Amino acid sequence: MTDRVGVDRLDVLKMDIEGFEYGVIRQMVASTIRPAQILVEFHHRMYGYRPEDTRRSVEMLQGAGYRIFYVSPGGHEYGLVLIDGA
């Protein structure tokens, strides 16, 4: 995607995409795309997604080198940052 818009890196990826975040995270982790920071609103308890789906997605991101720096009180919004060298 970055080559289509003429940039070679993404600093921030913000996702509030009504349930599509789960698939985007799976595809991103399977690729080489690694934004420095990810801000995502998870939609578990909607569209058939469960809290376990969110937990699995966060674990995938952590396995790809991200660390959580924020979780909203309701547990739907997360902020993650890529750790250098990951």
Q: Environment class of residue 22 by beta-carbon count within 10 Å: exposed (0-12), middle (13-18) or buried (19+)?
A: buried
CA-nearest of 2, 6, 63, 59 to 33 is: 2
pLDDT tens profile 15-68: 999 999 999 999 999 998 999 999 999 999 888 999 999 999 999 999 999 999
Number of domains in the chain: 1
Cα–Cα distance measured from residue 56 to residue 49, given in angstroms and rounded to the nearest whole number: 11
Range of the domain at 33: 2-82
Confidence of residue 84 (pLDDT cuts 50, 70, 90): confident
What is the CATH classification number for the domain harbouring 64?
A: 3.30.110
